[in-house]
Amino acid sequence: MILQLLFNGLVSGLLLALLAVGFSLIFNTTRVFHISHGAFYVGGAYAFYAILQSFQSQSLLFIVLSAFVALLIVMLVASIIEILIYQPLARKKSGQGITLISSMGVYLFIINGIATFFGNETKSLQLSSGGSIFLSNLVIAPVQLLQLLVSLFFLVLVLFVSRARWFLGVRAMMSNESVASVLGVNTSLIRLLAISFGSALAAVAAIMTLYDTGIDPQGGMAITLSAVVAVIIGGSLSLRGTIFASLGIALLQTATAWFLSSQWKEGMTFVLLILVFFWRTEGIVSYKMRVEEQ
């Protein structure tokens, strides 16, 4: 039974890692606390759903095609948000508060837009292929296998890309945007790529969840916040840290759902967040640090 719990946690953790890595990418390059990440998560699933339903067949070809188009849509909308909202605010040197609020506005707009067109109920799909795999004490549902493979693929891709040479420009930007810009790094382009790719990762996770527990318009915020906790705990600049933290949090949530009730898991995640805040020295507002920043 513990094995099943670990496995379930692992699979959810990988999905969560996709979201967390996406968020981390966006936050590090744009410095925006992109709370509307959840909207792109949900949006990706709904776009996929709508496109797939428009085809007669639901064969693998159309699934992949729909996914592809859905990702493009998500990337497009994310880019629009970046160009119309985040970049102008960055040019005005807006602080964290204002950009967070703008992101909240984007979230409300997109989520309510989705609810207007699709209604508020949960949408889900079924995988037509195969039965579960049974491995000693472990039951692997087909959708879990899909989630496992796809998540691993994308995570490995991201890790691989982050070691590439041209990614150095992105890294430079993450540490110091103005310096990077002076050194000729195209910060606007990187921001666009980051937000597109980050949102695409979220959409991928959502599409796979669509085949599992389903997606409803309100579901984006909860999982995004868990992803945010993972980024904060794992260290926003460390991809591996973020991934491991995601696995840890998903495991904690799965265990909570198993032993307590699934409703408590969100609360648990946030108790964890507050504990981490108290533990980290960065969060301290001691005026001493402010003075030294003079």
Query: Near other proteins by CB under 8 A, which window of 148-156, 163-171, 217-225, 233-241?
Result: 217-225
Candidates 106, 170, 180, 194; binder of other proteins (CB under 8 A) is 106
Least distance in angstroms from the C-beta of 107 to other proteins: 8
Per-residue contact flags (x/-) with other proteins for residues 151 to 190, judged by CB under 8 A = ----------------------------------------
Interface with other proteins includes 257 (CB under 8 A)? no
Q: What is the DSSP letter of 81?
A: H
Residues pairing with 249 in the sheet: none
Candidates 58, 94, 162, 181; binder of other proteins (CB under 8 A) is 94
Sign of dihedral through CA atoms 243, 246, 252, 253?
A: negative
Q: Scanning residues 15 to 74, which ones bind other proteins (CB under 8 A)?
A: 33
Query: Do the beta carbons of residue 196 and residue 34 sit within 8 Å?
Result: no
Q: Scanning residues 222 to 251, which ones bind other proteins (CB under 8 A)?
A: 225, 228, 232
Query: Burial letters for 51-81: b for 16+ Cβ neighbours within 10 Å, e otherwise?
Result: bbeeeeeeeeeebeebbeebbebbbebbbeb
Least distance in angstroms from the C-beta of 280 to other proteins: 9
Is the Cβ of residue 58 or residue 87 nearer to other proteins in the bound state? 87
Give CA angle at 199 (51, 162), nearest 5°.
130
Q: Where are the beta strands (DSSP E) in 88-137?
A: 133-135
Query: Do the beta carbons of residue 214 and residue 122 sit within 8 Å?
Result: yes
Q: Scanning residues 118 to 157, which ones bind other proteins (CB under 8 A)?
A: 120
Is the Cβ of residue 147 or residue 254 nearer to other proteins in the bound state? 254
Could you tell me the CA-to-CA distances from 20 to 69, 78, 84, 201, 271 in Å, in that order?
23, 16, 24, 9, 18
Query: Do the beta carbons of residue 223 and residue 19 sit within 8 Å?
Result: yes
Summarize as ranges the residues that interact with other proteins (CB under 8 A). 33, 85, 88-89, 94-98, 100-102, 104-109, 112-113, 115-116, 120, 218, 221, 225, 228, 232, 261, 263-264, 266-267, 270-271, 273-274, 277-278, 282-285, 287-288, 290-292, 294
